[in-house]
Chains A and B, each alone.
Chain A
C-alpha cells in the first residue's frame, strides 16, 4: 500500500448511456493524499462518473488523467493496474465465494509476491473479516459485506480509492466504524474520492467536496465551507 503520489484529474468530462447524456463537462480533481467528497441527489450521475474513471462507462468527450497517464479510453484492467480502484455501489461481492477468496480476487491482476503480506495487513485493519474468513460473502451482514468490498479493493493495491455509497443502508454506528477504517487507509497514503448519500458525514471526513446536480458540477470548495453553505444545508442537510 505504499502509494506514489499522483493527482486524479477529470477534465470537462461528458458521458452517458446509449444516446442519453448523463454527465456534462464535469471537471474534478483529487490531489495526492486528499480525501474528496462527491455529493448529489439520486440519479445525478455520481456512479456514472466513477464508472467513467474506471473504464466501465464510455467517455464521450473530455478526459481522465492519473498523474501523467491518460485513463480515459483504457480498459478497466489498465485503470486498476495504474492504481485507481473502485469500491462499487451496492458492494457487489462474489456471493458464493468465501470472504478469503473475495479478498484474494482483489489481487487478480497482481504479479508481485506480496499478496499474502497485504492480506495480513488488511485483516489486521479489518479484524471482523478474520472472524468471518471462511464464510460465504453472501451470508454476511451489510456492514461486514461493506468491509469485504473495501478489503477487496485494497488487495488491488490502490493509490487512489473511489468509494461509491459506502454508508448506504447501514446503521450510524457502522458508518462511524467504516469512517474510522477510511481514516486508517488514508493514513497509509491512499487518496480517496468518496461518493455519499450521507452528506453530513462526507463533508466531515473530506477536505474538499463537489456537488453534482443532473450531471453538472454546480458547487465545489472546501468541505467546511460547504457545510455552512445555505444552499447545501437546504438541499442536502435538511436544515
Chain B
C-alpha cells in the first residue's frame, strides 16, 4: 500500500507525465502570490479554480483511475459546505475544524452510500450517483434546520482577513493533488487501475474490487468535502441551488477529461484552463460566452482526445500530433 512495497514489486507508478506534474507544482507555487494583487476579483477567480481543481481530483480517483464515472460527487461538496454552515451557525469559528468535520462526514456518507451504489457498473452506476446527488439536494432543501431552500448565512470574516479562504482553498487543492500523486505511486493506485482495466482479472489476482472501489470513492469524497467546507464560509452564504449547482457537478468532470484523465497533472490543468476561460469569456462576450465555451470544449476533445497533459509527452512535434489524430479517426 505504500511506495516501498510498490517498489518491491517494481511498478513505476501511474502519475502520468513527470514534466507536466513539475509544471503544475510550479504553477501552484505561483498561485500562492495571487492575494498579493489585492484584487478581490482576481482572488475570487483563482479561488474558484483551486476549488474546482480539488473537486476534479476527487472525481479523478473514482472516474479516472478506477473507471467508475460518477455524477454524484457534488453531493460530497455540498455535504462539506453544510458541515461548515452548521458549525458556523453554532458559533464555531475555526476553518480547520470545518474542513476536518467535512472530510469525516463526507467519508462516512460516501462509504455508506458507496456500498450499494458501487455494485453497479457503467450507465447504471452513473445514473445511481446522479440520483444520490439529487436526493442529497432534496433532503437538504427540505430540512428547516439547514435553512431549507432559503439557505444559511455564515458569519463573514472582515475584509482584511479575507485571503485566509484563498490560502485554505490552495491547501485543499494542493492536498488533493499530492494525495493523488502518492496514491498513484502506491499499490493502491494500481489496484484502482486494475479495476478500471479489468475487474475480473483484478479479482483473479486477489485485488478486491469491492474494497478498492470504496476506497477510491471515499478518498475522492473527502477531497470534494474539504473544498465545500472552505467554499461555504468564503462565500458567506449557501443554499441548495448554489451548493449543488450543475456547474459544480459537471465542471470537475470536464476539467479532468480535458486536462488528462487518470493523471496527476490533468485535473489541475483542466481546472485552470476551463475555469479561467469561462471567466474570460464571460467578461468579453456577455451574451455568447457559453457558445464559445462549449465550442472550446468540443475543440479540445477533438484535437487532444487524451487531454492537455498528453502534449507534455509529445515527441516529434506537429507531425506526431497529426498522426495521433488519424489514429483516433481509425
B-binding residues in A (CB < 8 A): 54, 56, 75-81, 85-86, 88, 92-97, 101, 104-113, 115-116, 119, 152, 156
Contacts and interface: CB of A to CB of B under 8 A. Distances in A.
A134 to B, nearest CB: 11
A108 B10 contact: no
B11 A109 contact: no
Query: Helix, strand, loop or mixed for chain B's interface?
Result: helix
Contacts of A156: 205-206
Interface residues of B, number: 21
A108 B191 contact: yes
Contacts of B10: 104, 107, 115-116, 119
B9 interface: yes
Nearest to B210: A75
A108 B201 contact: no
Contacts of A86: 204
Contacts of B207: 77, 108
Contacts of B200: 56, 88, 92
Nearest to B199: A92
26 contacts: A54-B203, A56-B200, A56-B203, A56-B204, A75-B208, A76-B204, A76-B205, A81-B206, A88-B204, A93-B201, A94-B193, A94-B197, A94-B198, A94-B201, A97-B193, A101-B12, A104-B10, A105-B11, A106-B205, A108-B187, A108-B190, A110-B9, A115-B10, A116-B10, A119-B10, A152-B205
Contacts of A92: 198, 200-201, 204
B204 A108 contact: no
A113 B7 CA distance: 10
Contacts, number: 80
B205 A109 contact: yes
A78 B11 CA distance: 22
Given A92-B201, A94-B193, A77 B208 contact: yes
B206 A109 contact: yes
B111 interface: no
A104 B11 contact: yes
A13 to B, nearest CB: 19
Contacts of B5: 111
B315 to A, nearest CB: 14
Contacts of A54: 203-204
A108 B193 contact: no
B307 to A, nearest CB: 14
Interface in B1-57: 5, 8-12
A233 B69 CA distance: 50
B206 A77 contact: yes
B206 A80 contact: yes
Interface string B159-202: 00000000000000000000000000001001101100110110
A109 B8 CA distance: 11
A76 B190 CA distance: 17
